[in-house]
A and B are shown apart, each in its own frame.
Chain A
């Protein structure tokens, strides 16, 4: 079945440093979504990528979807303490099928 792998599992940075998490799928994806979960909270949708090679930005966050639509990355520039949490990628195969989540990357930031 479809598998979505995400690395690293944990990342600790100093405030102001950059952070990147990577996501790889065993199969070609129709789209990939990114979610953020704050400690003690529930996952919250950040963004969806659909097109091959797509790049989207949200302030300090940059999301990329690979040319083959099998990998994606999330890059945060100049991390802040408010960026703390777990970031999940979630891939969807054929349209209408359920999202499969990666195991997440937990980011901690020290000031």
Chain B
């Protein structure tokens, strides 16, 4: 099993460019999440999807959009990238129980110049 797969691993954008981060899981999990990690800030939740067809805002949703394409895939889109969005982005998934552990992808390191 691959678990949670994120693409790309690295990306450099210019301010104002757009891009989509892709995430797929093969564990038949209901819930999927996007976090960003910045030095000294821990992991902050951007958006999550508790089940196919639903999405909800997390702590820091501004500047981002998400799409739960199907049960396997959850993408994160930056419509107009800003330097403040330079970060490491992690996708995660969890099973359908009420209290489930998260499985993380390997991350995407994004730099916005």
Which A residues lie at the B interface, using CB under 8 A? 1, 6, 9, 30-31, 33, 35, 41-45, 48, 50, 88, 90, 92, 95-96, 98-104
Evaluate contact between B44 and A101: CB separation under 8 angstroms: yes
Which B residues lie at the A interface, using CB under 8 A? 33, 35, 40-45, 48, 50, 56, 58-59, 90, 98-99, 101-107
- The residue of chain A having its C-beta at the shortest distance from the C-beta of B99 within the complex is A31
Chain B residue numbers with a CB within 8 Å of A31 are 99
Chain A residue numbers with a CB within 8 Å of B106 are 41-42
- The residue of chain B having its C-beta at the shortest distance from the C-beta of A89 within the complex is B42
Evaluate contact between A88 and B48: CB separation under 8 angstroms: no
- The residue of chain A having its C-beta at the shortest distance from the C-beta of B58 within the complex is A98
Per the bound structure, the CA–CA distance linking A90 and B58 in Å amounts to 14
CB within 8 Å: A-B pair count: 55
**Given the known A-B contacts A9-B40, A95-B98, A96-B98, are A45 and B103 also in contact in the complex, defined by CB atoms under 8 Å?**
yes
Per the bound structure, the CA–CA distance linking A43 and B59 in Å amounts to 19
Evaluate contact between B99 and A48: CB separation under 8 angstroms: yes
Chain B residue numbers with a CB within 8 Å of A43 are 43, 90, 102, 104
Per the bound structure, the CA–CA distance linking A33 and B93 in Å amounts to 15
Per the bound structure, the CA–CA distance linking A101 and B2 in Å amounts to 25
Evaluate contact between B42 and A88: CB separation under 8 angstroms: yes
- The residue of chain B having its C-beta at the shortest distance from the C-beta of A35 within the complex is B102
Per the bound structure, the CA–CA distance linking A99 and B105 in Å amounts to 16
A14 to chain B: closest CB distance in Å?
Answer: 24
Per the bound structure, the CA–CA distance linking A50 and B100 in Å amounts to 11
Evaluate contact between B33 and A98: CB separation under 8 angstroms: yes
Evaluate contact between A101 and B42: CB separation under 8 angstroms: yes
